[in-house]
Amino acid sequence: MARIVQKYGGSSVRDTDRILSVARRIKQCRDRGDDLIVVVSAMGGVTDRLIALAKEVNPDPNEREMDMLLATGEQQSVALLALALHGLGCPAISFTGAQAGIETDDTHSKARIRSIQPRRIRERLEQGKVVIVAGFQGRGDDDAITTLGRGGSDLTAVALAAALKADLCQIFTDVDGVYTADPRLAPDARKIDRISHDEMLELASLGAKVMQARSIEFAKKFGVDLEVRSSLNDRPGTLITKETKDMEDVVIRGVSADRTEAKLTVTHIPDRPGRAARLFQILAAAAINVDMIVQNVSADGFTDISFTVPRADLDKIRRRLADRIQKEVQAEEILYDERIAKISAVGIGMRSHSGIAARMFTILAERDINIEMIATSEIKISCVIREHAAEHAVRALHTAFGLGRDDRGASDE
Amino acid sequence: MARIVQKYGGSSVRDTDRILSVARRIKQCRDRGDDLIVVVSAMGGVTDRLIALAKEVNPDPNEREMDMLLATGEQQSVALLALALHGLGCPAISFTGAQAGIETDDTHSKARIRSIQPRRIRERLEQGKVVIVAGFQGRGDDDAITTLGRGGSDLTAVALAAALKADLCQIFTDVDGVYTADPRLAPDARKIDRISHDEMLELASLGAKVMQARSIEFAKKFGVDLEVRSSLNDRPGTLITKETKDMEDVVIRGVSADRTEAKLTVTHIPDRPGRAARLFQILAAAAINVDMIVQNVSADGFTDISFTVPRADLDKIRRRLADRIQKEVQAEEILYDERIAKISAVGIGMRSHSGIAARMFTILAERDINIEMIATSEIKISCVIREHAAEHAVRALHTAFGLGRDDRGASDE
């Protein structure tokens, strides 16, 4: 008997037929004797509809009230899933994030989990019930309803798996697992059977949309084994687990393209100590995540700073921060560029194989793809390029690093 | 400066245009300097859609999970109304029932309010905010989400008015106030300007659909002045207030028809002590409200008992209770009759005027309307008749008791 946390995303519960099919899958697992905690997202489309309603009454909605509004999506799906399970004769109970003991800070719309008090979940598991928890949400100070931001339901699942010492955390989605590249970009991409937390972390943070980086970080920190798999079939998915020695044999595990970032350039900043710091303080205070940063060599006592941020935050920067940045940093202007893509190659094999960065730059150069920004870590190399070149770049790297189905042939794991 | 609780029903917030128009009304009141607490129902149609979804996954849904599901409707509308107010530059904050401090018992789907802890509401009023509270819901034991059943949002409003010692509780709806009869049945019905809690209580419990009896009882108990008025215009509505001497001058305040009840007859019960008690114990344990009761004269040691219950509970009685009742009460059979109407005449003037019941029976008899059950109180007379005769009966009584527009002429209040 295992204790398993399962998470079903919005597309897996997008209508009542899907909810019933998820319920049947859960019942099967429970009939095998597993302890089940199930985390559910809002039914596909519900969150978007709620956001549209909010914009109709207020184009610039307050985040506390948006959390209040959006948290209802998950609350509806947990109740419906519990009802569907009852209909199959499977004992089940639903909890909101707050009821499940998920305590967060007060950063509305992207709250951080502070702690989990799983008393109620444990009690109900002991009573033999499947416990269904609303993903994406928690309780802030003074009982405020908070949401965890994008990918928040995955985070709920991983955090519960850690708090409840679950054997496995399964993330059910509409893809079969994690691929060596986005199959829409590289049609010969293969499903990866096993991947380390670190590799998955880099792939996630680089735009492989299967899971958000935060959840994988959390899983790594607490040693949670994750399985990403499809809710539409019974095939095993991709296991994201702690690193083992043999994983280094593969130099590049996957290639990704991220088209969710925008590049900002703040020009002609007086090159004096504290100016760059001030710029990023303002962004940090507004809870905007800055990814890559490049500062030009100073000329005539002035410099330009380029950096990337989520495109979703551009509006907020334009409306609320741009004036302040220009004034406090004494910049000439702020340039916005949304037409970029970040292309990355990831693999823990890089540690033991040299020259991977040079090879990547060569592959891109041979295809006339210009590199605008570069960032590297121990196990990944990222390049910002023009957005329209993203697909071409991914295919070229995927083939050149031998990741395709045909390239590997019999050596396929 | 007054402290006012306003309640807006589902039709008043059924789309974002209506929500914006409610927000403008609230802002006007606040600009006059009033302290405002606003209770909102789910957007019109939302609750029905959620019930339909639930039935798709489970035809016999569990009440705890239904509360979890349905409470989201009000949570959405309070958030949207707060956002709409922000858009008008009016400070506002929304609370769920639980956050607003509405503590209930655990009778899911028709919980009773145990107490109200208005700390958060007071704090926010002191900050100058309009406080918006989700109607219809509260917090049961161990943080469970409960709902208060039909008319629950009115109850929320009245209970908050009592707890916060508000000067007035305004119930905004899609009618102009309380009428001497349902205008669809009696086209010459007039709006009543002032009515006592007791009279309104009888009219409500007898099917005048403007407000539920529970809310009026609560208002009476705590001396809350209620105003029922339209959210579509600025005309004053009907004030429901404590009884004054001059109210007795009007013998009959209104006539109502209730078509929400069904008649059950439990036949051939052994006429021994405790049998009737057992019958009504079983119903009470299932939280079913029994209204009128008639027991036939015993014949051969056996008797029949007829009583009325809400039609909405019929299914539950058939499925879950009928077998037990037959067994434990040793009845022959249970007959179900949904084609009844309860016609009532109400007025505190009855106390000082005699012969009203006789007059009512005569009026009905002259129209060949058969009376199947009778119940009376100090200020009302009710008769169960065939449902198809309801309209005819209401018109006849309305005219005969001089309630119509033409009948009163210049003496109109």
Model pLDDT for residues A20-60, shown as the tens digit of each residue: 999 999 999 999 999 999 999 999 999 999 999 999 999 99
Of B26, B65, B146, which to mutate for an interface test with A (greatest number of A Cβ within 10 Å)? B65
Quick: pLDDT tens for A166-180.
999 999 998 899 999
Q: Is A145 in Cβ contact with B57 (below 8 Å)?
A: no
Q: Enumerate domains of chain A plus CATH numbers.
A: 3-174 (3.40.1160.10)
Q: Min CA distance, A402 vs chain B (Å)?
A: 47
Contacts of B83 in chain A (CB under 8 A): 54, 57-58, 61-62, 65-66, 69
How many cross-chain Cβ pairs, A to B, lie less than 8 Å apart? Answer: 114
Q: Is B83 in Cβ contact with A54 (below 8 Å)?
A: yes
Predicted pLDDT at A411: 38
The single-letter code of the amino acid at A19 is: I
Q: Is B16 in Cβ contact with A57 (below 8 Å)?
A: yes
Q: Min CA distance, B44 vs chain A (Å)?
A: 14
B300: number of Cβ within 10 Å: 7
Predicted pLDDT at A412: 37
How much is the average pLDDT of A198-225? Answer: 84
Q: Which among B61, B79, B142 has the least Cβ separation from residue A68?
A: B79
Q: Which among B76, B86, B120 has the least Cβ separation from residue A58?
A: B86
Query: pTM value?
Result: 0.80
Quick: pLDDT tens for A322-363.
999 999 999 999 999 999 999 999 999 888 888 898 899 999
How much is the average pLDDT of A284-300? Answer: 86
Contacts of B61 in chain A (CB under 8 A): 83, 86
Of A56, A75, A120, A121, which to mutate for an interface test with B (greatest number of B Cβ within 10 Å)? A56
How much is the average pLDDT of A4-16? Answer: 96
Q: Is A76 in Cβ contact with B69 (below 8 Å)?
A: yes
Q: Is A69 in Cβ contact with B80 (below 8 Å)?
A: yes
Cα dist from A185 to A79, A208, A258, A393, whole Å: 38, 12, 12, 9
Q: Which among B58, B120, B143 has the least Cβ separation from residue A87?
A: B58
Q: Which among A57, A59, A72 has the least Cβ separation from residue B75?
A: A72
Of A212, A205, A245, which Cα lies nearest the Cα of A226?
A: A212
Predicted pLDDT at A164: 97
Does the ipTM exceed 0.90?
A: no
What's the token pair of residue B211? 């407000």
Predicted pLDDT at A208: 56
Contact residues, chain B to chain A, C-beta under 8 Å:
16, 19-20, 23, 50, 53-54, 56-62, 64-66, 68-69, 71-72, 75-76, 78-80, 82-84, 86-87, 93-94, 96, 98-99, 120, 142-145
Regions of chain B where pLDDT drops below 70: 205-209, 406-413
- State yes or no: pLDDT of A413 exceeds 50: no
Q: What chain A residue is nearest to B144 in terms of C-alpha separation? A: A99
Predicted pLDDT at B377: 86
CB A9 within 8 A of CB A174: yes
- State yes or no: pLDDT of A409 exceeds 50: no
Q: Min CA distance, A167 vs chain B (Å)?
A: 28
Quick: pLDDT tens for B201-247.
888 766 556 788 889 999 999 999 999 999 989 999 999 999 988 88
Q: Min CA distance, A92 vs chain B (Å)?
A: 10
Contacts of B98 in chain A (CB under 8 A): 143
- State yes or no: pLDDT of A407 exceeds 80: no
Mean pLDDT of chain A: 92
CB A19 within 8 A of CB B57: yes
Predicted pLDDT at B406: 59
Quick: pLDDT tens for A108-160.
999 999 999 999 999 999 999 999 999 999 999 999 999 998 889 999 999 99
Q: Min CA distance, A279 vs chain B (Å)?
A: 30
Q: Is B71 in Cβ contact with A86 (below 8 Å)?
A: no
- State yes or no: pLDDT of A243 exceeds 50: yes
Q: Is B83 in Cβ contact with A69 (below 8 Å)?
A: yes
Angle between helix A197-205 and A213-221 (nearest 10):
160
Q: Which among B76, B86, B99 has the least Cβ separation from residue A62?
A: B86
